[in-house]
């Protein structure tokens, strides 16, 4: 029996890419590949890319350049590029970097085994189609191997919102929802393998329509799975946050009190230019409705500063919205152009001004995040321990509010939910003690 081939996957971007990388590795396992954590040991290197951040394509070309010496030393090494940069760049990747053997878009990776076989025959393989067949139906069943206590589960892909700054509709395609029965079976298999918490993923996850009652109905069906203790979902759009989903936050005990709900700007003028199709007041009202049924909800958001045409007043409107909402966590970015998007054609504001605004916004968000963490000191939370910490006897896990928590606990508590009293707040995490 020949030795297994080794696959190294480097994943960029969001949780959906993490999930996709897992499925790619599973797909290639049928071709004799096992994963390795070292590019130097690999027979195939696969970069699973993201196109959201600035100069994403150039960063991938730079990364490929770093593998050139390794490729020269191992001529049989196969190199592939997957994900959204692959979708956007296509043949250009192979033209600019001839050592690349395989390019596959995010909707076509179920075809990886056949593509790898073509590469093994000495051919180049390119597939950036939006195939009619359901890739999840074509992928083989997930292996029944022991897993860690948390897992991502993609339920929806693509987006129909066409925000003026975003490439997702062009790289991931239109909104598509997986049938509920297939999601539920995958969830049961994950739980049988040791998973206690599942995070449902989608580019616009609360637009999920694979169950009759939408995402809320899917959550209630997942709630019935014995052994599944926690449910989360991300990323959401305010316009798809319906009353049934709000009610689920009030009454579903397995749905965690954490919500990532991007707004991007607090200025109605900029929101209109972004094609967000909601106002700042509508967003603030939505948050109030959610908090009225789940007062302890920890809210996370996304913000873009320096969008084309943003004035000082527009930026101050964003700062005021942040003060009004009070975020426990948030992500903020300086606007950068994405070729092919409507905003890329607009006049850009001064980069130095955008940087100054970003620093001001991040200072405010950091203050709110630290206050949210500090407010947990003295409280008891439920922590799902996931791994061993750096200190002797220490375990690390997540609270129901998605705070990272470390505490001295028996190693056997990995995969278990334990009550922990928070005793300190440090940078990006909380320290606690087990409650007897």
Residue closest to 266 by CA, chosen among 189, 147, 361, 193: 361
pLDDT of residue 135: 73
**Is there a contact between 422 and 406 (Cβ–Cβ < 8 Å)?**
no
**Integer Cα distance of 10 and 411 in angstroms:** 29
pLDDT of residue 85: 87
Q: What does the mean pLDDT of the chain come to?
A: 93
Residue closest to 299 by CA, chosen among 312, 307, 290: 290
Task: Supply the DSSP symbol for 257.
Answer: S
Fold agreement between 141-256 and 291-375: yes
Task: Supply the DSSP symbol for 225.
Answer: S
- Is the per-residue pLDDT at 1 higher than 60? no
CA distances from 196 to 227, 405, 420 (A): 7, 17, 18
CB atoms within 10 A of CB 434: 15
Taking only the tens place, the pLDDT of each residue in 232-248 is 999 999 999 999 999 99
Q: What is the mean pLDDT of residues 387-402?
A: 96
pTM of the full structure: 0.87
User: Band of the pLDDT at 54, cuts 50, 70, 90?
Assistant: low
Task: Supply the DSSP symbol for 255.
Answer: B
Q: Which of 176-185, 331-340, 355-364, 389-398 is least confident?
A: 331-340
Residue closest to 368 by CA, chosen among 301, 295, 290, 314: 301
b/e burial code for range 118-134 (CB count within 10 A of at least 16 → b) = bbeeeeebbbbeeeeee
291-375 placed in CATH 2.60.120.620: no
H/E stretch holding 34 reads strand 33-35
In a 10 Å sphere around its CB, with 0-12 CB exposed, 13-18 middle and 19+ buried, how is residue 392 labelled? exposed
Place of tokens 């206590």: 149
The CATH classification of domain 141-256, taken from the options 3.90.1150.10, 3.10.180.10, 3.60.20.10, 3.30.750.210: 3.30.750.210
- Assigned CATH for 380-434: 2.40.50.140
5-127 placed in CATH 3.60.20.40: no
Residues of the chain with pLDDT > 90: what percent?
Answer: 81
Residue 235 preceded by cis peptide, ω within 30: yes
**Is there a contact between 255 and 231 (Cβ–Cβ < 8 Å)?**
yes
Instruction: Indicate the domain borders of the chain.
Output: 5-127, 141-256, 291-375, 380-434
């Amino acid at each position: 029996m020949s030795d297994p081939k080794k696959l190294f996957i480097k994943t960029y971007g969001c949780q959906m890419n993490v999930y996709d990388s897992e499925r790619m590795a599973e797909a290639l396992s049928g071709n004799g590949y096992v994963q390795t954590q070292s590019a130097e040991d690999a027979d195939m290197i696969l970069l699973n890319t993201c196109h959201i951040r600035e100069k994403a394509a150039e960063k991938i070309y730079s990364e490929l350049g770093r593998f050139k010496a390794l490729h020269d030393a191992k001529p049989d090494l196969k190199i592939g590029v997957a994900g959204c940069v692959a979708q956007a760049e296509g043949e250009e990747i192979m033209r600019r970097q001839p050592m690349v053997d395989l390019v596959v878009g995010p909707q076509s990776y179920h075809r990886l085994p056949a593509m790898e076989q073509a590469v093994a025959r000495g051919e180049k393989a390119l597939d950036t189609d939006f195939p009619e067949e359901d890739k999840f139906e074509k992928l083989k069943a997930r292996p029944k191997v022991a897993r860690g206590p948390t897992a991502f589960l993609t339920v929806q892909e693509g987006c129909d919102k066409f925000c003026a700054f975003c490439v997702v509709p062009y790289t991931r395609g239109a909104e598509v929802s997986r049938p509920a029965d297939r999601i539920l079976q995958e969830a049961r298999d994950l739980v049988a393998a040791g998973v206690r918490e599942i995070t449902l993923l989608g580019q616009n996850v609360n637009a999920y329509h694979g169950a009759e009652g939408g995402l809320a109905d899917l959550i209630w069906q997942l709630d019935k799975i014995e052994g599944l203790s926690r449910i989360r979902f991300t990323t959401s759009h305010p316009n798809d946050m319906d009353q049934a989903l709000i009610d689920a936050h009030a009454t579903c005990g397995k749905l965690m009190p954490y919500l990532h709900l991007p707004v991007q700007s607090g200025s109605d003028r900029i929101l209109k230019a972004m094609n967000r199709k909601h106002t700042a007041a509508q967003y603030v009202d939505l948050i109030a409705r959610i908090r009225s049924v789940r007062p302890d909800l920890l809210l996370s958001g996304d913000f873009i500063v320096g969008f084309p045409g943003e004035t000082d007043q527009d930026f101050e409107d964003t700062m005021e919205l942040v003060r009004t909402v009070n975020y426990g966590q948030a992500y903020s970015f300086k606007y950068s152009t994405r070729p092919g998007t409507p905003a890329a054609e607009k006049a850009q504001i001064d980069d130095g001004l955008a940087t100054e605004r970003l620093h001001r916004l991040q200072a405010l968000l950091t203050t709110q995040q630290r206050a949210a963490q500090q407010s947990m000191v003295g409280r008891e939370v439920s922590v799902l321990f996931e791994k061993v910490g750096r200190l002797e006897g220490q375990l690390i896990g997540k609270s129901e509010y998605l705070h990272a928590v470390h505490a001295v606990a028996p190693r056997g508590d990995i995969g278990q939910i334990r009550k922990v009293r928070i005793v300190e707040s440090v940078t990006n995490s909380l320290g606690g003690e087990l409650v007897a």
